[in-house]
């Protein structure tokens, strides 16, 4: 895995926390202030849809990101961090499933077809791969746990595949923001209005969040100077 000369993970994990919090606030302001609020049951079906971006972003992407960086951001023993890593990923999957359920319910209650978009195909693929990754991770590294040599061989694949699925989730969210904003603009929403800026800006924050999570994962905990680089005094 690439080692970034002079870049250690710890400061980047703070960037991830801040961007995650900013993304969470922005999506809540959008769905509650601009889109009328959130509801599991409502006459106005749009309120059910609004659960979808909120759960996907805060539940799946922000909490999933925290799960990935937990090895780098938290103190404590490896075993405790492993437990936190697997629990946070489980929470992310469950909240992601609730978010996808909300999108299906909105479609079904409103008589709209399901699974017609690239966003929905990649989205369903992403959460399925994420669940497979979780099961493999659990069986290999937690219970019953594979033999030491297999764990060692499996770990780089676990990291690589985990980051791939996370990047897919970030990409899916980008498609989702684009799709929803295009629907709204086709329905008359001002192209350069404050809501359009808010949605585009939220999507940008999500890209930076994804980047900071991925770089935190590939950056070393300590500066190991693996490239033999020495700063000029
Ligand atoms: C990783 C995060 C996400 C995943 C896995 C995901 C997944 C899905 C899935 C599977 C559907 C299909 C529901 C159906 O066919 O009934 C859907 C619909 C939808 N999602 Fe997302 N979504 C994500 C994030 C977002 C975000 C952040 C938005 C922003 C508003 C969004 C906007 C939409 C819209 C507008 C639809 C309805 C139109 C369509 O089916 O494409 N999604 N999403
Ligand atoms: C969808 C769920 C999961 C994803 C996306 C994922 C992703 C990742 C990523 C990206 C890393 C690298 C972190 C870093 O180097 O800073 C990692 C490390 C690790 N994960 Fe997972 N993981 C998932 C589930 C699990 C589960 C269920 C377990 C079971 C215990 C697990 C065990 C581990 C272990 C042992 C490491 C190695 C930490 C180290 O030694 O540096 N993961 N995971």
pLDDT digits (tens, 9 = 90+) for 169-223: 999 999 999 999 999 999 999 999 999 999 999 999 999 999 999 999 999 997 6
Q: Which long-range contacts (CB under 8 A, 24 or more apart) does 123-130 make?
A: 123/56, 123/172, 123/176, 124/100, 125/168, 126/165, 126/168, 126/169, 126/172, 127/60, 127/93, 127/96, 127/97, 127/100, 129/161, 129/165, 129/168, 130/64, 130/89, 130/92, 130/93, 130/96, 130/165, 130/169
- pTM for the structure as a whole: 0.94
CA distance 166 to 81: 19
145-162 average pLDDT score: 98
30 lines ligand 1 (CB under 6 A): no
For a ligand 2 pocket test, name from 13, 141, 169 the mutation site with the most ligand atoms within 8 angstroms of its C-beta. Answer: 141
Distance 7 CA to ligand 2 centre (A): 21
In this structure, which ligand is nearest to the CA of 200?
A: 1
HSE toward the beta carbon, residue 69, CA cutoff 13 A:
26
User: Is the pLDDT reported for residue 63 higher than 70?
Assistant: yes
Task: Give the span between the Cα atoms of 182 and 26, in whole angstroms.
Answer: 18
pLDDT for res 98: 98
For the chain, domains (ranges, CATH) are 10-218 (1.20.120.1770)
Closest atom of ligand 1 relative to the 181 alpha carbon: 30
Identify which of 85, 145, 222 to mutate to test ligand 2's pocket (most ligand atoms within 8 A of the CB).
85
Is residue 158 within 6 Å of ligand 2 at its C-beta?
yes
Whether 68 is in the pocket of ligand 2, judged by its Cβ within 6 Å, is yes
> Which pLDDT band holds residue 78 (cuts at 50, 70, 90)?
very high
What does the pLDDT read at residue 212? 98
pLDDT band at 228 (very low <50, low <70, confident <90, very high): very low
Confidence category of residue 224, pLDDT binned at 50, 70, 90: low
Give me Rg for the CA atoms of the chain: 19
Q: Which numbered ligand comes closest to the C-alpha of 90?
A: 2
Closest CA to 65 of 217, 221, 218, 222: 217
List pLDDT tens digits, range 7-58: 899 999 999 999 999 999 999 999 999 999 999 999 999 999 999 999 999 9
Angle at 53 between CA 49 and CA 55, to 5 degrees: 100
109 pocket-lining for ligand 1 (C-beta < 6 Å): no
Whose structure tokens read 């960037």? 15
Report CA(73)–ligand 2 centroid distance (Å).
13
- Minimal CA–CA distance to 61: which of 209, 214, 211? 209
């Amino acid at each position: 895995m690439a080692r970034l000369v002079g870049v250690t993970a710890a400061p980047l994990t703070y960037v991830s926390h801040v961007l995650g919090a900013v993304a969470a606030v922005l999506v809540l302001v959008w769905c509650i202030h601009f889109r009328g609020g959130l509801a599991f049951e409502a006459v106005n079906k749009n309120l059910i849809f609004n659960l979808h971006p909120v759960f996907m972003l805060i539940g799946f992407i922000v909490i999933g990101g925290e799960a990935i960086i937990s090895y780098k951001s938290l103190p404590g023993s490896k075993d405790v961090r492993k437990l936190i890593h697997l629990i946070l990923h489980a929470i992310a999957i469950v909240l992601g499933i609730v978010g996808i359920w909300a999108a299906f319910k909105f479609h079904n209650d409103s008589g709209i077809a399901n699974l017609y978009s690239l966003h929905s195909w990649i989205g369903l693929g992403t959460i399925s791969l994420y669940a497979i990754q979780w099961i493999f991770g659990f069986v290999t590294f937690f219970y019953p746990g594979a033999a030491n040599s297999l764990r060692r061989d499996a770990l780089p694949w676990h990291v690589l595949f985990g980051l791939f699925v996370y990047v897919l989730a970030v990409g899916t969210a980008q498609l989702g923001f684009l799709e929803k904003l295009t629907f709204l603009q086709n329905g008359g929403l001002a192209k350069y209005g404050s809501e359009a800026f808010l949605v585009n800006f939220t999507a940008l924050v999500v890209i930076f969040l994804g980047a900071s999570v991925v770089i935190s994962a590939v950056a070393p905990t300590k500066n190991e100077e693996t490239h033999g680089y020495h700063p000029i005094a």
